[in-house]
Structures are given as C-alpha cells and as structure tokens.
Chain A
Amino acid sequence: MYSNMKITINGNIKEFKHESMTADELVDELKLTGKRFAIERNGEIMPKSLFKQFTINDGDSLEIVGAVGGG
C-alpha cells in the first residue's frame, strides 16, 4: 500500500502516487524528458548524470530551471 508523497517544485506543492522516486522518474512524470533544464534539490544541484541514482523523497524541495530570454 503506497502513501502519496508531497514535494515542493518551484514553490508549489505537488503530490505523487509514490513513496519515493528517482530523479529520472520525476523528470518523466513532469514530461520534461528531452528538455534543457537543471534541478536543485534542497539547495544542492543534482547532476544529470546521476538522475538514475538520485532519490526524491517526501518533503523535498526542488527548483527546476531553464534558460529564458534575458539581457
């Protein structure tokens, strides 16, 4: 029996039907596969090369950023 996990993404709380998941699985859930972005988890950057190993847990806070127009 899974309990839902709540994580904060870019300031908004999101619920997922897992107890935990890898960064890779999260990227897939958020439909970000193939896009250019970077993720910080609880203030620490998660290198893309380690997405398969990194686990996202209930209560984690993520910042997911991309490049936008700017001067």
Chain B
Amino acid sequence: MCLAIPMRVISVDGNLGRVEASGALLTVALDLVEGVQPGDYLLVHAGFAIARMDADEAQENLDIIKRLTESPEP
C-alpha cells in the first residue's frame, strides 16, 4: 500500500506537476514537496509527490529496475 514510484517532472503548473515514467504520464499534486523543477525526479504515492529524489540515484534506481526486468530468469 505504501508503494511509490520515481517519476520525472515534465512541467509544473501551480501545485500540480506533469510527470512521466516508462512512457506513462500522470498529473500529481505537489502539496507535500518544495521547489520542484522540470527534470526533477519525484517519488509518487496515491496522486501526490511525497519526496524529491536525488536525480543520479533515482536514475540508478530506474536502471536497476530496468536491468532486473530485462535480465533472463535464473
């Protein structure tokens, strides 16, 4: 239930952000984070960004997910 997904910010309009991950687009509320800029990575839970993620680490996180998804089953 506490699932949250890193998503990249495309644009910001007031307290709403347009975000993207793996081609999926979503509008999320930015009430719980500060100073969000396009290009930032946000952790998204139940329609809200709950944290800004360090871009390098977020990318590493997404890379791990991608590689694990692509790697053949043992």
Q: Do A and B come from one complex?
A: no
Q: Give residues in A with beta carbon < 8 Å to B.
A: none
